[in-house]
Every structure is written in structure tokens, then in C-alpha cells.
């Protein structure tokens, strides 16, 4: 979906990753509710979307304060005009299986789910917990409804129904029709309501007992008459409407102590009077079931024990397909409307026309018609080369060497297309067209990568870094992946003879740091590529003002740096193997700034964390680290996630020769001597653009390395030594 329109485009094929399958998709199901709502929302004017999303407006205002209005407007325009992959329910044949995946093999027929995963695409990369086997007698076009089926099944489970209960289903789209059948299979009497008479008739044909009148019943009288004066035991809302009356009608239809379960998307301005007297339970059903939106379950394959969580989203998917296999659920009406993928726009248009189909199925390839998967055999394995783990070179034997470009521009490959690359590096590179020509964009998501490449005019895209490294017209690589992969990717690029800008941190383990040092130590005397870690703060105009002010000092520096980092959820990726924690991932900035200002080597690091903290916090979110340098300078970092959001994030105070220098959040730098003060720098600047300029000049041979290698190693070593202090510190009281 791009600018509210459905478009079909070619994107790089996803590459296999640990814990995943590659699936050749035979059919994918369009959700007429969720997907059409998303398209409609994209056509809402920007000002109205802003009014509905105050949190995003707040983030944009914060970006203006830290990055300036021009940069913020550029980012907002890019995001508004960017395309979003559609689809979240598909079925096909397994092409490849990662080495750590059990239970699947090439050729297996599978159904898969997940937004951003089971897209409308010829090939999907699917985490193991979002894929299930398809029974032999279920055609793949029917199996492509698995996500819708799991959503409806989870709604029925949340309703907690039992044999003989009366249940009202409001809204008879795809989810409503499936809910009717699942509730009947559970032994319930099912009453249904929808404004569309044809959908009500379809519900009757699939097991509904009674169709309620379409008009709003202000007293719930109709349901009461049909249930011997009791009222419905439960109501399942599968409608999509901004009206608050949908949920109000559900409450009025219930008996005392009844249950209302929200599956669809409706207005939620609740009235106490509708709920209080009957003591009703109002429940929300979250998508496919337990595991949904849990990164550890969906991305890392961590299953929940069946003895404690009987029905996960994966087990719901399996159970739905079993019911289809046994003929207890009929998905025929959902797959009656079919279009080849090339006609996707027509498929979405059909879902908005009258009479409106319940859903539509997209089919793929010569063998991808209804009920048939493609062969599952890739036409060439060449496109999948280099998809294994990124190798760290152990010697210089395989290194290729090339001189820096003699002139012109730096021909660049960008690896990683996460939020930081999208909102910072790519807009800055576009503003540095005289210095850079971005030739490749490489990322794990083919669809997102292709869309970014279209926005920024990048000619080549891939999910395989090997393709960019094999291009002799690439001079340098910018690495902006998750923290844990920085060192291995940087070393692979260096071994290919490419200059490397790697976002901070340089690495997250002592072993990776030693591998980087070994690479350059073994290459002494050779024309080594430039390596630069993205320690942007030293390139800020504020850091330059501090450095000028202490250049001719007579005594050591005393530096006090405070970071009010803010709280992150305990399960954030920052704390996992991909992130390494906030000391390694962010405090390395401060350690680098200490080295930049002192210009000296660090001789000692001492660090201590807080004592026991509530489970919502990580201990190494809250610490102090002190560093002593060869010139006698002392620098202390206080890093905390316990502070209030209203306090600016960073403050640095530098004391030297009877004066103080105060840097406030990289917005204002002030020099204080006696009672006099002078503003040295007064504009927001964290150095992101300047660091790219410095790297480009170095690659073109117009300057030295922007950050000396020993200082890059030192800042990383300081962070690692702080981690070692955290681990070895005795518990409080010992």
C-alpha cells in the first residue's frame, strides 16, 4: 500500500535466517476488514491522522528539538509516502529450512501467519512458531485463511462458552462467519446480527439459529424473548465500525454476569450504566492467541509449555485447520473470489464493490492456482548464496585491497534499514549527494528494502550482503544493523576491501573486539580500509566547542556526565543478544566523548550498578562508571532509567583551570568563569551529518581517519570493562 493505493512490485527474495522457513506461497488471503481499514486510514489527511496520533506528534516535536525542523519534515514526508507490505495469512510449500528448525522439511505444505511475515508475496520467510502443517485433504487456497481462522477461534475461547449457551455474533464478515461455525461446533445456540441481509443469510446457511433485526434494540428485548427472558450468555463482536453503539448493543443483549468479547474494531466509549447493573465482563481477544506480539515467542521460537498455556497462536492455527479438514468449518465463501497476484489492485477493488465478497484470495505462479502449490524448487540456488552466518576472518590471506577513490563520490552500500537508518542516515545521505552515491540497500526485509530504495533512488537492493560486496563499484559500506551483528558484518566488509562506517557500538563482546584489533594488526603496512564507528557526539558543534575551550589547559579535566535515559520495557530487544544492553549500546557514546576531550588513554575503569531494583528495571540500566586517564583526567558517567521524562536527557559538565563548561542536551553549551558566562554554541546538533561528511572525506583521501582506531577500541573496551565490573560486583551487604 503506497499513498492509499495498492501496487504490485518486485522486491528481493528474503534470505533464510535461524529459526525460520522459506515458503513458496501458493495462495494468500486478503482480510476485507483489517486490510481495507488500513487502506482507508492511509487516505485520511495528514492533519487528521496527526490529531488521532498525539504520541507520534510528540515524537516529531522532540525530533525538531534535537535534529531541527528541516530534517524532521524530510523524515515525516518520507514516512507518509512510504509503502507498507500487505497481507498476514498465506499457505504454500517449504523451500528451505534453517539448521535449527525441527519438524519441517523442504516440500512440506504449510500455512503461515503474521503481518510483515505472511505477506502477499511469492516467497515468505516465516518464524517456526508462525507456521503449521496443512492436512493432506485441505487445499492450499483454503489453508491460506489460517490467520482469520485462528483469530475467530481465539475469540470463541475468550468467550469461555459451554454446551447449550446462547451467544450473539455481531458483524458477519469473514471473522463473523467463521465465529458462527466455531460456536456451533462448541454446542452453542448462535444468534447473529448484521446490516447486510445477504451476509445474515450466509450465516444461517452455515449454522446460525436466528437472525436478529438490524435496528438497534434499546432494551435488548429481542434477545431476551429468544432466550426465555434470560439474555445472551455471551456476545462476540466481529464488526468493524467507529460507532460506540455496537458495543452498547452487545451489553444490552447480555444476561446478568454475561461476557462480551471484542474481536473486531469498534468505538469504545463505554457507558457505566450499560455494564454496572449486570456486572458484565468485557474482554478483548488479541489476534491469534497467546504468543501474539511476544517477540520471544514469534521471532525467537520460544514456545509456551502446553501444560501451562494450552492454546497458543500456533496451536490455534493447527486446530482451525483440523476443523476445516474434518468439514466442521467451511471456508468456501472466503476463497470464492480469486485473483492472480498481478491483479491485486483489482482484488481490493472487488472487496469494496457490491455485493461485497467476504474476502479474496491471491494466487501465485504457474503452479500457484487454487489448491496447488508451486513445485517448491527454486529455479537457481545462486540467488541464495551467502545467506549463512557472516564469517569473521581469522587471517589476512583472503583480503582484497583497493586504493581509496581518487575523486568524485563515495559509492556506498547501506546494510540495515531499521528505524535509525530510515530516520537519520538515509535522509542525511540524500542531503550529501555531492559526497555520496548510494548504490546498494541491503536488509533482511525485501519488501521494506525495495520501498526505501524507491524513495531514496537507490538502484540496487538485496537481502544478501554478498551481492553488494561483490560489486567492484562499491567503495564503502554503512552498517546499521542490530548491535550484536556489527562486528561480524564490519569484518566481512573489511575483508572484502571495503571501507566501513559501522554504527555504534563497534561490538558487544570481548572476542569481537579482539577480532577487529587482530584484523588491523595483521594488516600492518598494507593499504587498509578506513574503519569508523558511529560515535556521532564527538562530531557535534557542541563537542567541538568543548574541545576548543580545553585545548590549552594546564591541569587535568574533571568531567561529570549524566544521562536520563528513560525506561524501556524489560523485554525490549535492547537487552537481548541483538542489543547487548544500554551500557554497551549507548554509554559507549559517552566513553568516546571522554577520550575525545582528554585526548588521552584510559588506564582504569570502575563501575557499579544500583542494588536490587523492581523487576521492571535492569540493573545495568542504572550505574555509575568512572574512568581515569593517563593525563590525570577523571570522567564519571551517571546513567539512569529511573528519572522523569520531563528532564532533558543529557548534561555534561567539564571542570578545568578555574572554569566550567556545561553542555545541556546538545542544544546549548555555556562557559562559566567566575560570575561571567558565555554561550559557546546554541543550536541543537548531535553530529550525525558531520560524521558522515568526515567519513566520506577520509574515504576519498581528503583527510585522516575521523576517529583514530585506538580511540574506537578504547571506547568499546571501556564499555566492556564496565560490564565486567557489573558482573563481578558482590551483592549489596556482602
Residue 542 lies in a domain: yes
Residue 373 lies in a domain: no
**217 or 34, greater pLDDT:** 34
- pLDDT at site 570: 87
- Mean pLDDT calculated for residue range 269-294: 93
Q: For residue 368, how many other CB atoms are within 10 A of its CB?
A: 24
Measure the CA–CA gap between 537 and 532, rounded to whole angstroms. 13
End-to-end CA distance of the chain: 59
Residue 303 lies in a domain: no
**Considering just the CA atoms, what is the radius of gyration of the chain in Å?**
29
Per-residue b or e along 349-359, where b marks 16 or more CB atoms closer than 10 Å to that residue's CB: ebbeeeebbbb
Q: Give per-residue pLDDT as tens, 334-365.
A: 999 999 999 999 999 998 888 888 899 999 97
- pLDDT at site 356: 82
Q: For residue 16, how many other CB atoms are within 10 A of its CB?
A: 19
Model pTM score: 0.81
Measure the CA–CA gap between 114 and 266, rounded to whole angstroms. 22
**47 or 452, greater pLDDT:** 452
Q: Is beta strand 359-363 parallel, antiparallel or unpaired with respect to 338-340?
A: parallel
My answer on whether 117 and 88 are in the same domain is yes
Count the alpha carbons within 13 Å of 322 in the hemisphere toward its beta carbon. 9
Identify whether the C-beta of residue 566 lies closer than 8 Å to the C-beta of residue 650: no
Domain that holds residue 95: 20-145+331-363
Residue 723 lies in a domain: yes
Distances (CA, A) of 1 to 8, 30, 345, 421, 457: 9, 13, 10, 21, 19
My answer on whether 454 and 500 are in the same domain is yes
My answer on whether 431 and 557 are in the same domain is no
When pLDDT is cut at 50, 70 and 90, the band that residue 411 belongs to is very high
When pLDDT is cut at 50, 70 and 90, the band that residue 220 belongs to is confident
Return the CATH number at 170: 3.40.50.720
Identify whether the C-beta of residue 344 lies closer than 8 Å to the C-beta of residue 360: no
Residue 252 lies in a domain: yes
Cell of 121: 508475496
Using the 3D structure, point to which of 500, 529, 558 is the last residue of a domain: 529
How many domains is the chain partitioned into structurally? 4
Identify whether the C-beta of residue 199 lies closer than 8 Å to the C-beta of residue 180: no
Return the CATH number at 78: 3.90.180.10
Q: Coil, strand or helix: which one is 573?
A: helix
Q: Give per-residue pLDDT as tens, 482-541.
A: 999 999 999 999 999 999 999 999 999 999 999 999 999 987 766 789 999 999 999 999
My answer on whether 561 and 707 are in the same domain is yes
My answer on whether 542 and 626 are in the same domain is yes
Using the 3D structure, point to which of 529, 553, 569 is the last residue of a domain: 529
Residue 600 lies in a domain: yes
My answer on whether 706 and 570 are in the same domain is yes
Q: Cis omega (within 30 of 0) on the bond before 535?
A: no
Identify whether the C-beta of residue 665 lies closer than 8 Å to the C-beta of residue 686: no
My answer on whether 722 and 598 are in the same domain is yes
My answer on whether 134 and 244 are in the same domain is no
My answer on whether 570 and 707 are in the same domain is yes
Return the CATH number at 601: 3.30.360.10
Residue-wise DSSP of 13-44: PPPP-TTEEEEEEEEEEEETTHHHHHHHHHTS
My answer on whether 545 and 423 are in the same domain is no
Instruction: Report residue 659: phi and psi, to 5°.
Output: -135, 165
Q: Give per-residue pLDDT as tens, 655-701.
A: 999 999 999 999 999 999 988 999 999 999 999 999 999 999 999 99
Residue 34 lies in a domain: yes
My answer on whether 606 and 709 are in the same domain is yes
| Helices 54-67 & 69-80 angle (0-180, nearest 10) | 140
My answer on whether 637 and 684 are in the same domain is yes
Q: For residue 460, how many other CB atoms are within 10 A of its CB?
A: 17
Instruction: Report residue 273: phi and psi, to 5°.
Output: -65, -25
Selection from 156, 114, 16 nearest residue 314 by Cα: 114
- pLDDT at site 81: 63
Selection from 500, 446, 336, 478 nearest residue 85 by Cα: 446
Q: Cis omega (within 30 of 0) on the bond before 307?
A: no
Measure the CA–CA gap between 120 and 86, rounded to whole angstroms. 6
Alpha helices by DSSP H, 277-343: 295-298, 313-325
Rama region for 599: left / alpha / beta (φ>0; ψ in -120 to 50; rest):
left
Alpha helices by DSSP H, 81-226: 140-143, 146-159, 174-185, 197-205, 221-226
Residue 310 lies in a domain: no
Q: Coil, strand or helix: which one is 264?
A: coil
Show Cβ contacts of residue 45 under 8 Å, excluding neighbours closer than 6 positions: none
Show Cβ contacts of residue 710 under 8 Å, excluding neighbours closer than 6 positions: 601
When pLDDT is cut at 50, 70 and 90, the band that residue 50 belongs to is low
Amino acid at each position: 500500500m503506497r499513498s492509499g493505493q495498492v501496487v504490485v512490485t518486485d522486491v528481493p527474495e528474503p534470505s533464510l535466517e535461524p529459526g525460520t522457513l522459506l515458503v513458496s506461497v501458493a495462495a494468500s488471503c486478503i482480510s476485507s476488514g483489517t486490510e481495507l481499514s488500513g487502506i482507508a486510514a492511509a487516505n485520511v489527511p495528514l492533519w487528521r491522522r496527526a490529531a488521532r496520533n498525539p504520541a507520534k506528534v510528540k515524537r516529531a516535536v522532540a525530533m525538531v528539538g534535537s535534529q531541527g525542523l528541516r530534517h524532521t519534515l524530510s523524515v515525516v514526508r518520507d514516512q507518509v509516502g512510504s509503502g507498507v507490505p500487505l497481507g498476514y495469512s498465506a499457505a504454500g510449500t517449504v523451500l528451505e529450512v534453517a539448521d535449527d528448525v525441527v519438524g519441517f522439511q523442504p516440500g512440506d505444505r504449510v500455512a503461515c501467519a503474521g503481518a510483515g511475515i505472511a505477506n502477499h508475496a511469492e516467497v515468505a520467510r516465516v518464524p517456526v512458531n508462525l507456521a503449521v502443517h496443512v492436512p493432506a485433504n485441505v487445499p492450499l487456497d483454503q489453508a491460506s485463511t489460517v490467520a482469520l481462522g485462528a483469530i475467530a477461534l481465539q475469540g470463541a475461547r475468550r468467550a469461555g462458552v459451554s454446551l447449550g449457551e446462547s451467544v450473539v455474533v455481531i458483524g458477519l464478515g469473514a471473522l463473523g462467519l467463521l465465529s458462527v461455525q466455531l460456536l456451533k461446533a462448541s454446542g452453542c445456540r448462535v444468534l447473529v446480527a448484521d446490516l447486510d441481509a445477504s451476509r445474515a443469510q450466509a450465516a444461517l446457511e452455515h449454522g446460525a439459529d436466528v437472525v436478529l433485526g438490524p435496528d438497534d434494540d434499546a432494551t435488548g428485548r429481542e434477545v431476551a424473548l429468544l432466550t426465555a427472558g434470560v439474555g445472551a450468555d455471551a456476545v462476540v463482536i466481529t464488526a468493524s465500525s467507529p460507532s460506540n453503539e455496537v458495543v452498547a448493543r452487545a451489553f444490552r443483549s447480555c444476561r446478568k454476569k454475561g461476557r462480551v468479547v471484542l474481536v473486531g474494531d469498534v468505538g469504545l466509549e463505554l457507558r457505566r450504566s450499560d455494564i454496572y447493573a449486570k456486572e458484565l465482563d468485557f474482554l478483548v481477544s488479541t489476534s491469534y492467541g497467546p504468543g501474539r506480539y511476544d517477540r520471544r515467542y514469534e521471532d525467537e521460537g520460544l514456545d509456551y509449555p502446553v501444560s501451562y498455556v494450552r492454546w497458543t497462536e500456533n496451536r490455534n492455527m493447527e486446530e482451525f485447520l483440523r476443523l476445516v479438514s474434518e468439514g466442521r468449518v467451511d471456508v468456501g465463501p472466503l476463497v470464492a473470489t480469486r485473483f492472480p497476484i498481478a491483479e491485486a489492485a483489482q482484488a481490493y477493488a472487488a472487496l469494496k464493490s457490491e455485493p461485497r465478497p467476504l474476502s479474496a484470495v491471491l494466487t501465485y505462479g504457474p503452479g500457484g492456482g487454487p489448491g496447488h502449490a508451486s513445485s517448491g524448487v527454486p529455479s537457481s540456488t545462486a540467488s541464495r548464496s551467502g545467506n549463512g552466518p557472516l564469517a569473521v576472518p581469522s587471517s589476512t590471506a583472503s583480503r582484497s585491497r583497493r586504493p581509496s577513490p581518487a575523486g568524485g563520490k563515495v559509492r556506498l552500500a547501506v546494510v540495515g534499514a531499521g528505524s535509525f537508518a530510515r530516520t537519520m542516515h538515509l535522509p542525511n545521505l540524500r542531503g550529501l549527494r555531492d559526497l555520496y552515491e548510494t548504490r546498494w540497500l541491503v536488509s533482511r526485509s525485501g519488501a521494506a528494502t525495495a520501498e526505501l530504495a524507491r524513495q531514496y533512488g537507490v538502484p540496487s537492493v538485496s537481502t544478501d550482503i554478498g551481492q553488494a560486496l561483490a560489486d567492484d563499484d562499491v567503495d564503502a559500506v554503512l552498517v546499521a544493523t542490530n548491535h550484536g551483528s556489527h562486528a561480524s558484518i564490519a569484518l566481512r566488509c573489511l575483508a572484502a576491501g571495503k571501507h566501513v562506517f559501522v554504527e555504534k557500538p563497534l561490538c558487544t563482546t570481548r572476542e569481537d573486539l579482539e577480532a577487529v584489533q587482530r584484523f588491523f594488526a595483521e594488516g600492518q603496512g598494507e593499504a587498509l580500509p578506513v574503519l569508523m564507528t558511529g560515535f556521532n557526539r564527538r562530531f557535534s558543534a557542541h563537542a567541538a566547542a568543548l574541545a576548543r575551550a580545553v585545548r590549552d589547559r594546564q591541569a587535568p579535566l574533571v568531567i561529570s556526565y549524566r544521562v536520563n535515559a528513560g525506561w524501556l520495557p524489560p523485554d525490549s530487544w535492547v537487552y537481548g543478544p541483538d542489543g547487548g544492553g544500554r551500557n554497551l549500546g549507548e554509554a559507549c557514546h559517552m566513553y568516546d566523548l571522554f577520550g575525545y576531550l582528554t585526548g588521552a588513554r584510559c588506564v582504569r575503569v570502575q563501575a557499579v550498578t544500583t542494588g536490587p531494583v523492581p523487576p521492571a528495571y535492569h540493573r545495568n540500566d542504572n550505574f555509575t562508571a568512572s574512568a581515569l586517564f593517563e593525563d590525570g583526567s577523571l570522567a564519571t558517567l551517571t546513567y539512569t532509567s529511573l528519572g522523569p521524562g520531563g528532564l532533558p536527557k543529557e548534561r555534561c559538565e567539564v571542570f578545568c583551570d578555574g572554569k566550567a563548561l556545561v553542555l545541556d542536551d546538545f542544544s546549548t553549551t555555556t562557559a562559566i568563569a567566575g560570575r561571567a558566562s558565555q554561550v559557546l554554541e546554541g543550536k541543537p546538533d548531535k553530529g550525525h551529518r558531520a560524521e558522515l561528511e568526515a567519513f566520506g572525506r577520509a574515504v576519498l583521501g581528503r583527510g585522516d581517519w575521523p576517529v583514530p582506531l585506538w580511540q574506537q577500541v578504547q571506547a568499546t573496551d571501556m564499555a566492556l570493562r564496565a560490564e565486567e565490573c557489573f558482573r563481578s560486583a558482590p551483592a549489596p551487604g556482602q
